Amino acid sequence: MSKPKVAFFDFTSCEGCQLSILNLETELLDLLEIIDIVEFREAMSEKSPVFDIAVIEGSYSRDSDLKRLKKIRETASVVVALGACAHIGGINALRNSQNKEDLMKKVYPDNPFLYETNEKALPISGAIKVDAFVPGCPVDVKEFVRVVKNLVLGKDPGLPTYPVCVECKLNENVCVYELGKTCLGPVVRAGCNAVCTSSGGVCIGCRGLIPNPNINSQKDIMEKYGLDMKRIIDSVNMFMTEDAKGVQ
Amino acid sequence: MTEVLEIQSTKDNVMLGLQKALSEYSIAALTRKGGKVLFDYVDSVDKIELEYTPTVLSPKKFFFPQEEVILEYTLEGKVNTKIEYKKTVLFGVRPCDITGIQILDEAFSESNGDPNYLTKRENSVIIGIDCKSVCDENAFCYKVASQNPEKGFDIMLRDLGNDYAMTIATRKGEVFAEEYFSTFKPDYEALHEFRVQKERAFEEAGGPFEELENLPAIFSENQFHPIWDSEAERCLSCGSCIMVCPTCYCFDVIDELSLSMKIGDRLRRWDACMLRSFAEVSGGENFREEVKNRVKHRINRKFNFLMLKHGRSVCVGCGRCVRSCLADISPVTIVDALTKTSKEMRLEEKNNDLYLPEKAYIRKIESFTDKEKFFELEMENGKSLGAQPGQFILLSIFGIGEAAISVSSPPSFGDRFEIVVRAVGDVTNKLHTLTEGDFVFIRGPFGHGFDENILRKMKGKHLLFIAGGIGYVPLRSLINLTLKQTDLYKKISILYGCKTPEDRMYKDELAYISTLGGNVELLETVDKGDDTWLKNTGVITTLIPQVDFDPEETIAVVCGPPVMYKFVTKTLNDHGIPNSSIYVSLERRMKCGVGKCGHCQIDDIYVCQDGPVFRFSDIEDKEEAL
């Protein structure tokens, strides 16, 4: 079996997910036993016009992205959205509820019209068909390796469809609600091994919603624990574009 | 070990003994780790927390870990089972969790014993610490009677101040105590005092669920209770309740190939029926897609399905699911609501005019024989009787009394129904004097007739009806029902025997049936014929060899005078038809029709409710049945 050619691309993002992959170090060498990385701007200067798997970090937020994304889609047989920005819009999508002109003036007060941007920052699936995704901000590199392995094996990527609560309980954490905090764990996709709640934080939803989340009950619970509606909406919107709520 | 051994030791000595045991065993106990209190391995006994704080996970994880490798393999096809275990003392397990372990022991050892669980279990010594009071407001062990386990541990400690009283339950516990503890005779008075105080504390918390023993039945009759909707509406399907449950033991099996793509593990990992993907198959079909069904399934496993299997509530009342549920879904709320409804239903039935009959008019009378008359009745309220084939009514004539009578018309007979009555008692004698247009009073229909299940089993089969005398009447509704759809059955054979030709019921109808042909046959016999009788003479059993049937494909339905059953069932058995393929309709004295008055009782069954139709194999062992 010849090794599949894998190319990495980045759009609107901090590139932290790709950095996480480079941090794999020893495992990265093992990974290179099963795939050929033919393009990876953060790690090498070579580029390749042909590749089998395209791994894309970042959200689709400029008109000029569309052409590039379409070209990638035409070349790759499998497109993988890497990280929250590519998967659900990510932090970039925080601006989606605001007026574009006002926002540009706020961010670039001197030259607001020098920069190109769309009305909204969207997940990659807003531009092209995505075959698989690795959720998270940043991605869980173990999960990235598992997804790549499963794609090479021709298996389902194997992402959990259950919420963070499952992993949080397996780690024997006392529920953060009992500690007076609020958390999106009950409606957000697991796979991160509940890293935030296990380290004294709360889940802020970087991995997107589970299929069929009970949002009404989640709102009731957050309200019961003292959050007003605005803060509930803010917390749910932190990572997700309204358009990406249904992305699974 | 047959006898429970009671001994005592000082607390210091117990701790010393445990410290010594560390050279041979790993010790897992309640301990503090990064701000959490949990069961974990300790490297020194001074890290053991003796004061109990409810933990997130129960100690079941030491025998059934969150994730474990069960197979190791290479892609070339080498494969080995894998069972990881270490000799462990599990110290300080509380009664609820011990009851949980007892249930898991049963679940993992029945039929195919699970090697991974059982090996870990065999290599463990469980030392419990008894609770003197209920640990917090969420625990409800006392509601499900799990606070005093008799199995699931080797040694149970009871805090007597400076000492621990020890109950040794197993040989393993005895050996361990001998090796590591120096013990002396227990202070029975102090031990008694401990038990009294415990009992008092748990009683004050509240007794067991009002109808604990009866919960499987209560859950079964409340599958459509509105509480399932209201709980499901709040349920997040987050799976927390299952993850923390000490008696949930479902798991998923996953292959993980190493990055070398050459070797791999097969893992099992806790799974949860509350998670949406639990019952999803490849292709996307989900057999438990609705949250409501998942909530129902989870709670029914604890109080119904598995309770029936284990003979006790499989919920041990540890309170972990209640503590972990953000949506405040609690088994206690559900059990209470269902119990309340069931009680109300029972009360309602009592108020629901159980003994109040309704008026019915006699529309048609026909004499069948000297003693037997046919009546067609119509309810005054215009309702159809809605009887199943084989059911009966109680017919009353005020001033005389009430009598149980079979309904002989098939279910779809419109607003009217038929009975055939022999004048043998006060009520039936009086009935025979009434004329068309008179009224009687009716209760019912009652009893368990030929229900949907039985009718389904009959489809495609050769039906062999065997009736004697007036026994044709209780079978007639089923016979007529099947004659309407003869193509549903392989063949329909009606065997009918009477004393004389005169004694036959529904004579015109019999004449009609004998002309039907096709897959329907009617064989008749009489004990004593007359000049006009051209058919068989002899007892009913002589007809059976005349029918061509494949015993594997035949279902026999028998009704007649008591003496007939013994001979007919024996002859059927002799011809290869097992008792499980024979249905009988029994007659008994009945006064209430609703399983209360006691007249129709045969051992533990009430003919009026469990019958009158029975599968013969269900009652063959009952001496009084025939």
Q: How does residue B436 score in pLDDT terms, banded at 50, 70 and 90?
A: very high
pLDDT at B96: 97
pLDDT at B12: 96
CATH of A5-153, one of 3.40.190.290, 3.40.50.720, 3.40.50.700, 3.30.70.360: 3.40.50.700
Q: What is the DSSP string of B28-46?
A: EEEEEETTEEEEEEESSGG
What's the average model confidence in pLDDT over B229-256?
95
pLDDT at A237: 77
User: Are the C-beta atoms of B70 and B121 separated by less than 8 Å?
Assistant: no
**Which one of B55, B238, B255 makes the best mutation probe of the A interface by having the most chain A beta carbons within 10 Å?**
B238
Query: Alpha-carbon distance B389 to B479, whole Å?
Result: 9
Task: For residue A27, give the nearest of B259, B272, B323 by CB distance.
Answer: B259
Note the pLDDT tens digit of each residue in B281-304. Answer: 887 788 888 999 999 999 999 999
Mean pLDDT score across all residues of chain A: 90
For residue B57, which residues of chain A lie inside 8 Å, CB to CB?
169-170, 172
* ipTM, two decimals: 0.88
Task: For residue B326, give the nearest of A177, A210, A216 by CB distance.
Answer: A177
User: Are the C-beta atoms of B445 and B386 separated by less than 8 Å?
Assistant: yes
For residue A33, which residues of chain B lie inside 8 Å, CB to CB?
259-261
Query: Alpha-carbon distance B30 to B10, whole Å?
Result: 20
pLDDT at A89: 92
Q: Point out the least confidently predicted range of A164-168, B140-144, B469-473, B585-589.
A: B585-589
What's the average model confidence in pLDDT over B519-527?
93
Residue in the block written with tokens 């030929």? B450
State whether residue A145 sits within 8 Å of chain B by CB: yes
pLDDT at B52 over 60: yes
pLDDT at A245 over 80: no
State whether residue A161 sits within 8 Å of chain B by CB: yes
pLDDT at B286: 84
**Given an 8 Å threshold on Cβ–Cβ distance, is A186 in contact with B66?**
no
Query: Alpha-carbon distance A135 to A159, whole Å?
Result: 9
As a whole-number percent, the residues of chain B with pLDDT over 70 amount to 98
Query: Alpha-carbon distance B421 to B104, whole Å?
Result: 58
Task: Give bridge partners of residue B605 from the DSSP assignment.
Answer: B602
User: Are the C-beta atoms of B180 and B18 separated by less than 8 Å?
Assistant: yes
State whether residue A184 sits within 8 Å of chain B by CB: no
Residue B497 or B381, more confident: B497
Q: Which residue type, as a one-letter code, is found at position B231?
A: E
For residue B234, which residues of chain A lie inside 8 Å, CB to CB?
214, 217, 220
What's the average model confidence in pLDDT over A168-192?
93
Query: Alpha-carbon distance B624 to B626, whole Å?
Result: 6
Range with the largest mean pLDDT of B236-250, B449-463, B557-571: B236-250
Residue in the block written with tokens 């002799």? B574
**Given an 8 Å threshold on Cβ–Cβ distance, is B243 in contact with A30?**
no
User: Are the C-beta atoms of B319 and B140 separated by less than 8 Å?
Assistant: yes
Q: How does residue B87 score in pLDDT terms, banded at 50, 70 and 90?
A: very high
Note the pLDDT tens digit of each residue in A24-52. Answer: 888 888 899 999 999 999 889 999 999 99
**Given an 8 Å threshold on Cβ–Cβ distance, is B276 in contact with A31?**
no
Measure in Å the smallest separation between the Cα of B585 and chain A Cα atoms. 52
**Given an 8 Å threshold on Cβ–Cβ distance, is A169 in contact with B261?**
no
Query: Alpha-carbon distance A141 to A145, whole Å?
Result: 6
**Distances in Å between the alpha carbon of A80 and those of A11, A125, B50?**
13, 10, 51
Residue in the block written with tokens 């961010």? A107
Q: How does residue B412 score in pLDDT terms, banded at 50, 70 and 90?
A: low
Q: Which residue type, as a one-letter code, is found at position A45?
A: S
pLDDT at A244 over 80: no
For residue B260, which residues of chain A lie inside 8 Å, CB to CB?
30, 33
Measure in Å the smallest separation between the Cα of A47 and chain B Cα atoms. 26
State whether residue A31 sits within 8 Å of chain B by CB: yes
pLDDT at B609: 80
pLDDT at B400: 86
Measure in Å the smallest separation between the Cα of A223 and chain B Cα atoms. 12
Query: Alpha-carbon distance B297 to B305, whole Å?
Result: 9
Positions of E strands within B122-274:
124-129, 155-159, 163-168, 251-257, 263-270
Note the pLDDT tens digit of each residue in B2-16. Answer: 567 899 999 999 999
Q: How does residue A9 score in pLDDT terms, banded at 50, 70 and 90?
A: very high
**Which one of B137, B237, B323 makes the best mutation probe of the A interface by having the most chain A beta carbons within 10 Å?**
B237
State whether residue A81 sits within 8 Å of chain B by CB: no
Question: Domain map of chain A by residue range?
Answer: 5-153, 164-240
User: Are the C-beta atoms of B476 and B506 separated by less than 8 Å?
Assistant: yes
User: Are the C-beta atoms of B312 and B291 separated by less than 8 Å?
Assistant: no
Q: Single out the residue of A3, A60, A13 nearest to residue A33, CA to CA.
A: A3
Task: For residue A170, give the nearest of B66, B236, B326 by CB distance.
Answer: B66
Q: Point out the least confidently predicted range of B77-86, B415-424, B448-457, B465-474.
A: B448-457
Q: How does residue B351 score in pLDDT terms, banded at 50, 70 and 90?
A: low
**Given an 8 Å threshold on Cβ–Cβ distance, is A220 in contact with B234?**
yes
pLDDT at A1: 57
pLDDT at B519: 92
In terms of Cβ atoms closer than 10 Å to its own Cβ (0-12, 13-18, 19+), residue A14 is middle
**Given an 8 Å threshold on Cβ–Cβ distance, is B324 in contact with A169?**
yes
Mean pLDDT score across all residues of chain B: 91
**Which one of A145, A162, A202 makes the best mutation probe of the B interface by having the most chain B beta carbons within 10 Å?**
A162
Note the pLDDT tens digit of each residue in B438-475. Answer: 999 999 888 888 987 888 889 899 999 999 999 999 99
Note the pLDDT tens digit of each residue in A16-26. Answer: 999 999 998 88
Question: Domain map of chain B by residue range?
Answer: 5-205, 212-350, 359-446, 452-619
Task: For residue A212, give the nearest of B56, B261, B276 by CB distance.
Answer: B276
In chain B, the residue whose alpha carbon lies closest to the alpha carbon of A211 is B276
What's the average model confidence in pLDDT over B561-583?
91
Direct distance between the N- and C-terminal alpha carbons of chain B, in angstroms, rounded to an integer: 46
Q: What is the CATH number of domain B452-619?
A: 3.40.50.80
What's the average model confidence in pLDDT over B511-522?
91
Q: B393: Cβ–Cβ under 8 A, 6 or more apart, which residues?
A: B385, B387, B404, B405, B407, B419, B442, B443, B444, B445, B446
pLDDT at A7 over 90: yes
Q: How does residue B104 score in pLDDT terms, banded at 50, 70 and 90?
A: very high
Measure in Å the smallest separation between the Cα of B154 and chain A Cα atoms. 26
CATH 3.90.1300.10 fits B359-446, yes or no: no
pLDDT at B457: 87
For residue B295, which residues of chain A lie inside 8 Å, CB to CB?
none
What's the average model confidence in pLDDT over B127-138?
95
Measure in Å the smallest separation between the Cα of B458 and chain A Cα atoms. 43
**Given an 8 Å threshold on Cβ–Cβ distance, is A173 in contact with B36?**
yes
A–B CB contacts, 8 A cutoff, strictly below: 94
Q: How does residue A180 score in pLDDT terms, banded at 50, 70 and 90?
A: confident
How big is the CA angle at B537 (ends B533 and B543), to the nearest 5 degrees?
120
**Phi and psi dihedrals of A118, rounded to 5?**
-85, 175
Q: How does residue B587 score in pLDDT terms, banded at 50, 70 and 90?
A: confident
Q: Which residue type, as a one-letter code, is found at position B566?
A: K
Query: Alpha-carbon distance B424 to B407, whole Å?
Result: 17
What's the average model confidence in pLDDT over B550-569?
91
Measure in Å the smallest separation between the Cα of B259 and chain A Cα atoms. 6
